[in-house]
Each structure stands twice: as structure tokens, then as C-alpha cells.
A = this chain, B = another copy of it.
Amino acid sequence: MSEVLQGIRVLDLSRIFAGPDSAQMLGDLGADVIKVESPKGGDECRYLGVTKAELEKIGAPSPSFRSFNRNKRSIVLDLATDAGRDAVRRLMLRSDVVLNNFRPGTMERWGIGYDDLCTEHPGMIYCDFHAYGPVGPLADIGANDLALQAHSGLMSITGEEGGPPARAGSAIVDLHASLAIVSGVLAALFHRERTGEGQRLDTSLLLSSAHLMSYFYQDYWLTGNEHRRMGTANHLSVPNQAFPANDGYVVIIAPSDEMWRRLAAALDPETLGVETFRTASERLRLRKDVVEAISAITRGLSKHEIHAKLSRAKVNVSIVNGIGEATGHPQLEAVGGIFHHGDGERYVGTPFRLHKSPGRMTRGYPGLGEHTAEILSEAGFSEAEIEELSGEWK
């Protein structure tokens, strides 16, 4: 057996980012993932964040849909109808894992909640994914990644010092939640393998954002410290931030006194090797002076010159890349972080690599409802039933 999740069936009723991305990773590990989509255009992500002109150029679906939906088959079922819900129930009964991100109580209202099926299917692993979780004062408030960047306090520590709050530029809470779903589902599968017991689990954008903020919360609980925005800098040490080059920016991090000495020697022993900057606590106290002294040197050099000098001296350094530079760098390819598929298509791979049973890509993104008849037929639906269920949509 070379695939971790060979023989595991996942029914994914979720949309947009976190749920689909988590199901994709389960598919990377070899699960048979079925994506249930609405007849009204399917997952909204198919058209998200892309202009009409771009869609005409690259064809549907959107780049983000392509990012989160490899290794899946798509079935269209209308959950607004009795027949659609009944079909989902039948598919759930033959699935090992069921994911959904409907508002709390929706699956129950449709008669396909965990409690409706768990007696008949005690091995089922059923995952709810919500914005703020299933209960509590915010359970019914709509939210997305940005809302949780705001609610969690992340935005209060992101951006320029004294300036307005900023967001982390990517949907990091959403994609972090995706890995929380994967972790929870794998934990439940391991538990079932040892005990025979399925179970319900849940996670949320809220839990994910709190995990990302956990050490700030701990700091606040213990000391009352409310850290604030510092641009690219960090309250932990100096230097630990971006510095200007003559053609962009680099980040330089030298937390230990030993690394600082190497930095000073590599960049300019005369101005940086001074006694006053030698200890971490003094560099913290003289933050402004240290930053100015380093900037005075880096401004005269190119990004690549600084990177070469400092990496040679074993000082932590990175170029602040644009997206083109980041994707063009050979490192991600070198570690197997890019999946190649079809005719030159590239996809960011599974974010961890098992050496005997690594994630892999066997299918591109599915067309809307592309596998409806195939999936229903496998599940024992009759020709007439298949016709009825797909006829409504086509």
C-alpha cells in the first residue's frame, strides 16, 4: 500500500477556501474525494477574484479554484430538494469522512446532521467547519478570513507603527484552518483505526486565528502587554526586520550576539562593530540607532549583494521577494514543493512530505458536475435515479 489514505472516501460539502483545500490534501494522500456542488454554478470559488477579461484569457475556473481542487471528482446535487438531500445522505452512509462548512444547524435542518446518521453509520468521521464555531455569541455572525484577522487581534499588530491596521496579504487564517481540518480528520481516522469508533469533530476560523495568536494572548494574560504594529520589525530582537537595498528590500535577523558579530564583520566593522551594539539588550534599547546604522550600509548595496555577503557570513537573511520572484526561485522545486500536471501546469504541493507515501497529484480540478453519473452509479443508484437527479440540473 503506497498511499496513506487509499480506500478512504471523503465527501466534501464545503466551499471557497479552507474546506476545499483540506479535502484536496486528503486527496493528495490518496483518498477518494467527492466534491458536492450546487446546480447554481457550484462552488463560488470557481469565479472568485478573477475579472471577466482574465477568465476569458485563461478559461474558467479561477486560479484560486484550481489551487484548492485537484485530486477530486465533482458531483452536482441540489440540497434544496428532497431528492438531492436524500442522495447526499446515501453518499454520506458510504463515506469515511464528511466535511461541511454550512452555517451552524443547517445540516441538521436538512436531516443530514451527524446525529441523523451516526447510529446507522457509527464509523463516520464528520467535520463541521465554521467561522466562529457552533455555539457562543458570535456563532451566527457571517465572517471570512479578513473578519478573523480583525477579530483575533492579528490586524492590530500588522502594519506600520502609528499607521492604520493592515491585513496579512493572503488568506492565512483560512489556509491555516485547512491544516487544522486535515489534522483533526487524520487524528479521528487514527482513532477509528485503533478503536472502530467514528466521531464528530469541528474547527473554525476562530480556533485557527487563536492558534496563530497564541503567544500574544499568553503574553497579554501574563503581563498585560498589548503589542502593536511595528512594520516589519519585531519586539523579540534587533535587527529582525526589513532593510532597504538600492533595488528593493532584504530582511536581516541576527538575534544572538555571536551572529551580530558576524553581521558587523561582514557589512562594516567600523560602524557596526562598536562596543555599544555588542549585546542583545543594548541593541534592543538602541533600536533606532542600530537600524539606522545598518540601513546606511544596505542602502548602497543591491539585494543580491547583501544576501551574498550575509549568507556567506552565516547571518539569517532573505530577499523580500515579489510573487514572481518567489515562484521563480528554484528552492521550492528542489524540495518537491511543486506538483506538475498535464501540459506544463504547476500547483503548490502538499505542505509536508512523507518519504514512503508522499502526497501526489493524479487529477486536475474537476468540471462542475463532471463525475455526477459516475459517482452515483458507483454508489448503486439506478439509471432512472441518476437520470432524475442529473436531469434536473442539465
Query: Could you tell me if B66 and A146 are in contact, using CB atoms closer than 8 angstroms?
Result: no
Interface centre among A235, A241, A251, A316 (most CB of B within 10 A): A251
Partner of A179, one of B17, B66, B176, B235: B176
Contacts A67-B215, A137-B334, A155-B169 given; 6 further ones with Cβ under 8 A?
A48-B236, A49-B236, A137-B330, A167-B232, A189-B190, A211-B351
Query: Could you tell me if A204 and B323 are in contact, using CB atoms closer than 8 angstroms?
Result: no
Query: Could you tell me if B190 and A186 are in contact, using CB atoms closer than 8 angstroms?
Result: yes
Query: Could you tell me if B175 and A212 are in contact, using CB atoms closer than 8 angstroms?
Result: yes
A195 within 8 A of B: yes
Residues of B within 8 A of A160 (CB): 159-160, 163-164, 166
Docked pose: A157 CA to B322 CA in angstroms: 8
Query: Could you tell me if B63 and A146 are in contact, using CB atoms closer than 8 angstroms?
Result: no
Tell me which residues from 204 to 219 in chain A have a Cβ below 8 Å from any Cβ of chain B. 204, 206-208, 210-219
Partner of A218, one of B1, B57, B66, B158: B66
Residues of B within 8 A of A242 (CB): 150, 155, 164-165, 167
Query: Could you tell me if A327 and B231 are in contact, using CB atoms closer than 8 angstroms?
Result: no
Partner of A187, one of B4, B157, B234, B249: B4
Query: Could you tell me if B322 and A153 are in contact, using CB atoms closer than 8 angstroms?
Result: yes
Residues of B within 8 A of A155 (CB): 169, 232, 242, 251, 320
Residues of B within 8 A of A67 (CB): 214-215, 217-218
| Contact (A353, B207) CB under 8 Å given A58-B222, A186-B186, A334-B136 | yes
A-side interface size class: 35 or more
A309 within 8 A of B: no
* Closest chain B residue, CB of each to CB of A179: B179
CB distance from A108 to the nearest CB of B (A): 15
A282 within 8 A of B: no
Query: Could you tell me if A199 and B356 are in contact, using CB atoms closer than 8 angstroms?
Result: yes
Could you name 26 residue pairs across A and B whose Cβ atoms are closer than 8 Å? A57-B223, A58-B223, A63-B219, A66-B218, A67-B214, A67-B218, A132-B335, A133-B335, A143-B318, A144-B316, A146-B232, A146-B234, A150-B319, A151-B326, A155-B242, A159-B160, A159-B169, A159-B231, A175-B214, A186-B186, A189-B190, A190-B190, A201-B353, A204-B335, A207-B349, A210-B349
Residues of B within 8 A of A1 (CB): 191, 194-195
CB distance from A13 to the nearest CB of B (A): 18
Partner of A326, one of B48, B152, B318, B357: B152
7 nearest CB pairs, A to B:
A157-B169, A136-B334, A133-B335, A184-B352, A168-B168, A153-B326, A186-B186
CB distance from A225 to the nearest CB of B (A): 8
Query: Could you tell me if B222 and A63 are in contact, using CB atoms closer than 8 angstroms?
Result: yes
Query: Could you tell me if B193 and A323 are in contact, using CB atoms closer than 8 angstroms?
Result: no
Residues of B within 8 A of A274 (CB): none
Interface centre among A49, A164, A179 (most CB of B within 10 A): A179
CB distance from A139 to the nearest CB of B (A): 8
Binary contact track A350-364/B, C-beta < 8 Å → 1, others 0: 011111110000000
A76 within 8 A of B: no
Residues of B within 8 A of A322 (CB): 153, 156, 226
Docked pose: A172 CA to B137 CA in angstroms: 27
Query: Could you tell me if B330 and A136 are in contact, using CB atoms closer than 8 angstroms?
Result: yes
Residues of B within 8 A of A318 (CB): 141, 143, 146-148, 150-151
Tell me which residues from 1 to 51 in chain A have a Cβ below 8 Å from any Cβ of chain B. 1, 4-5, 17, 21, 25, 29, 48-51
